[in-house]
Amino acid sequence: MVQQTIDRLYDLRLKSMAEAYLEQKDRGDLGGLTFDERFQLLVESEWLNRIEKRVKRRLKQAKLKQLACLEDVDYTGRRGLDRKQMEELATCHWIRSGRNIIMTGPTGVGKTWLACALSNRACREGLSARYCRVPRLAHELTLARCDGSYLSLLGKLARTDLLILDDWALSPLEGQVQHDLLEVIDDRAGARSTIVTSQLPIAKWHDVIGDPSVADALLDRLVGTAIKIDLKGGSLRRK
């Protein structure tokens, strides 16, 4: 009967529960627990296992550039980070409200790392995320136009709870690229959250976008109610 129960659990894809059941069976120190308590331990084991798998799947799909956690944020330097603000961001309420974050600062100051840390937290809170460098995303959108997958790619980006646009305005946005990025951002405006990292201050973004009307539309959708984090200091890569 024991083996039959184990087989049934595996057939039902309750592997973690089956393993917890075998562990309970082999231990001799559970006699003081009631049936309900022991059954709760089995269910808890299966539940935790599934939560862990979902988190791993979301992190894999996010394709984060760096493995970063908010617990590892260093507040000792004068980088312009506010501990209370970061603790509030860690709750992910801003994502559920569809707000954006704009991080600016010189190269190497930790913009990408911090964006990945926030995305890591989002994945652990049950939200989807995706990391994109703007130059590569522009290339993906161009290829998608050629092979007929453009609308499908736009749909995937629109459904992602948190999108990182890293290295924004690293080079001028011209031609079809600026219109493609406007499509991505317009689909997300007010409904999904975006983290934008850039070496350029927001005041200079308008100058690197070729079409003034597109620039106005992009800035209106990105900057409006965005949370702004201006990082300072030297490159952390030297450390």
pLDDT above 80 for 95: yes
pLDDT at residue 175, rounded to an integer = 85
pLDDT at residue 237, rounded to an integer = 63
Q: How many Cβ atoms from other residues are within 10 Å of residue 162's Cβ? A: 26
| 104 strand-pairing partners | 198, 230
CB 193 within 8 A of CB 92: no
**Residues 6 or more apart from 57 whose CB is under 8 A from it?**
none
Instruction: Read off the pLDDT band of 238 (50, 70, 90).
Output: low
Return the SS3 of 135: helix
More confident position, 134 or 10: 134
pTM, two decimals, is 0.82
For residue 180 the two structure tokens come to: 């493609």
pLDDT at residue 37, rounded to an integer = 79
Mean pLDDT for the stretch of residues 27-47: 77
Return the SS3 of 160: coil
More confident position, 30 or 153: 153
pLDDT at residue 64, rounded to an integer = 95
Instruction: Read off the pLDDT band of 199 (50, 70, 90).
Output: very high
CB 27 within 8 A of CB 95: no
What is the radius of gyration, based on Cα positions, of the chain?
A: 23
pLDDT at residue 48, rounded to an integer = 84
Instruction: Read off the pLDDT band of 163 (50, 70, 90).
Output: very high
Domains along the chain? 2-61 (no CATH), 65-238 (3.40.50.300)
Q: In the block, which residue shows the tokens 């317009």?
A: 186
pLDDT (tens digit per residue) in 65-75: 988 999 998 88
CA 139 to chain centre: 21
| 235 strand-pairing partners | none
Instruction: Read off the pLDDT band of 133 (50, 70, 90).
Output: very high
Instruction: Read off the pLDDT band of 3 (50, 70, 90).
Output: confident
Which of 135-144, 171-180, 190-199, 215-224 has the weakest average pLDDT?
Answer: 171-180
Return the SS3 of 162: strand
- Using CA atoms, how far apart are residues 175 and 101, in angstroms rounded to an integer? 26
